[in-house]
Structure 1
Amino acid sequence: MPSSSCLRRIQSGLIALALSCVAVPALAQADRCPKLVAEAPARIIPAAFRLPAAPQEALFRLAAGASDEVTLNYIGHSTFLIETAGGVTVATDYNDYVHPDVVPRVATMNRAHSTHYSLNPDPGIEYVLKGWSDTPGQPARYDLDVGDLWVGNLATNTRDWEGGTTRNGNSIFVFRAADLCIAHLGHLHHTLTEDDIAALGRIDVVLAPVDGSYTLDVDGMVEVLRSLESPLVIPMHYFNETTLNAFLNRLGAREFVVERNASSTLSVSRESLPGKPTVIVLPQR
């Protein structure tokens, strides 16, 4: 009969073998956004209303790590200009029609329509990240560090014009900076699986398309937001107040707090994340 130590070695070997057979989504292996629970709730301060700190206060905040925040500027449609505390800028769904006034260091694109990508991006952009692969059916894969920013992605399927499915046609891009994980859902056409949720990990801020037709229907988008369990949701890809309100009215009042921001710019830090899931509407410029 094998000894107890021998049995333990056999058991450990079997466990290791089993784990090696488990498929782990690509985004999860970087482990950049582990599942965590946001701590003490605090208010989110619109950047336009921030008062300049005194030199002593600024020095204290820097020493305490409280100066780490990310600024989100809603340019319009699906495009945000994201800026990290270290000055790295990202334009999401960069295109030739709706884009920021500055040349971003990083641009992400999806290809559902021409308002989500550019065939001729500004040559001054250092990193142009397409949400699709040039090899049909294969996923685009990113694991990129730029200054104090990390960018990863999760490939998603899209509908084609004939009603079929294009596998891995677009991407959810995930940005991590200042210990915040921000997911831009792109032109999402389907709800997320348990594997998708596990791959995305902890998402603190969701930039969600809420048009209810070209992307997911309203019920589908609400299901996605519930599954992500993120403390902050910012709607995008809404064409008018009617489509926006159809989404807002579908949200459970007991589940989500809804706020409207006077400015298109919002500064967010880990300390400022709300304790209850909150939707903040940023006006389009």
Structure 2
Amino acid sequence: MTSARPFPKRIASLALAIGMAFAAPTGVAAQDAADPLRNCPPMLAGLGSLIHRAALAEDEAALTFVGHATFLVESAGGVSVATDYNDYVRPDRVPTIATMNRAHRTHFSVAPDPAIAHVLRGWNPEGGPAEHDVEVGDVRVRNVTTNTRSGMGTEYDENSIFVVETAGLCIAHLGHLHHVLEPEHLVALGRVDVALAPVDGSYTLDTQGMIETLRRMGPRLVVPMHFFSQGRLEQFLEAASPHFEIARAGAASVILSRDRLPDRPTILVLDGPGR
């Protein structure tokens, strides 16, 4: 497991001020007030179920699993975000914003569609962390960098977690995460309502490390991705079941609303290819 790079003092000092409620999935909502970064507002408790519907209200967003690590997030205002946009798995429409978490052939495009208004790469070819904070209509996309394994060593800031904010929701795509998130990362992320998590257990973070990270983040909804086979997905679900409810959407798309997120942390499996 690779390690996290120390954060700048401004962010690291914030991390020291928060407690890690590690044993319970309480998340990091208490950090928001102390964090000068403009992150999502505190979560409102809500009951109810996720629903499927064609039209989107202002407090709703559509999430579609395209395959592998690619999702399409669509806002009520007509803005769309494709995660891990690449040359192998793409949505059936040109997104407004395309994110690419790391420079790996199945996670980025060498020739993104020129009609995409914003192409956000999760690494900086010139070195140092990539920094993105883009607002288009009713959508904001920002990133938090993490590190990746490289042989027996570590490559710093080579992966990005992209956070899509719309309809009062904070949807975090964990990208090709290789290490457990530290308090500094959680402070930078702010509240996470929905986590899109790689669960292959080998190419990215191991299974127990991913479960630990998700419990630290405290999302109410986790959508698995990057699992390569149904058997591998089922192994992850079994390991996570003591900590999360398990649900299956029976479809590739779901409509999300903050006040209808499940009360107990839940893993929701969307239909579609996982490779």
Q: Into which bin does the TM-score normalised by the smaller protein fall?
A: 0.7 to 0.9
CA deviations on 1:159-209 (whole Å, 9 max, x unpaired) are 12x221100001000010001000000000000001111111110000000
Q: Aligned letter for 2:114?
A: P
Question: Mind listing any 5+ residue stretches in structure 1 that lack a counterpart?
Answer: 1-20, 53-61
The 4+ residue runs of structure 1 with deviation greater than 6 A are none
Residue pair 1:43, 1:274 contacting (<8 A) in 2 also: yes
For residue 133 of structure 1, give the secondary structure of its aligned residue in structure 2: coil
Instruction: Give TM-score scaled by structure 1 length.
Output: 0.82
Alignment partner of 1:69 is 2:60: yes
Q: Who is 1:153 aligned against?
A: 143
Q: Who is 1:23 aligned against?
A: 10
Which whole-Å CA distance do the structure 2 matches of 1:265 and 1:38 have between them?
Answer: 24
Which whole-Å CA distance do the structure 2 matches of 1:29 and 1:184 have between them?
Answer: 22
For residue 106 of structure 2, give the secondary structure of its aligned residue in structure 1: helix
Residue pair 1:46, 1:263 contacting (<8 A) in 2 also: no
Alignment partner of 1:85 is 2:76: yes
Question: Mind listing any 5+ residue stretches in structure 2 that lack a counterpart?
Answer: 1-7, 15-31
Q: Aligned letter for 1:174?
A: V
- Structure showing greater relative contact order (alpha-carbon pairs closer than 8 Å, 6 or more residues apart): 2
CA deviations on 1:225-267 (whole Å, 9 max, x unpaired) are 10011100000001111110111010143x3110011110011
Q: Aligned letter for 2:129?
A: P
Residue among 192, 198, 212 paired with 1:203: 192
Question: How far 1:215 moved relative to its partner?
Answer: 0.2
For residue 24 of structure 1, give the secondary structure of its aligned residue in structure 2: helix
Q: From the CA coordinates, give the structure whose radius of gyration is larger.
A: 1
Residue pair 2:101, 2:162 contacting (<8 A) in 1 also: no
Alignment partner of 1:263 is 2:262: no
Q: Figure out how many residues of one structure are paired with residues of the other and give that number.
A: 246
Q: Aligned letter for 1:135?
A: E
What are the equivalent positions in structure 2 for 1:96-245 lying under 5 Å apart? 96-136=87-127, 138-160=128-150, 162-245=151-234
The structure with the greater share of residues assigned to helix is: 1
Residue identity over aligned pairs, in percent, reads 50
Aligned-residue CA RMSD (Å): 2.0
Which whole-Å CA distance do the structure 2 matches of 1:88 and 1:247 have between them?
Answer: 32
Instruction: Give TM-score scaled by structure 2 length.
Output: 0.85
Residue among 45, 48, 63 paired with 2:51: 45
Residue pair 2:177, 2:205 contacting (<8 A) in 1 also: yes
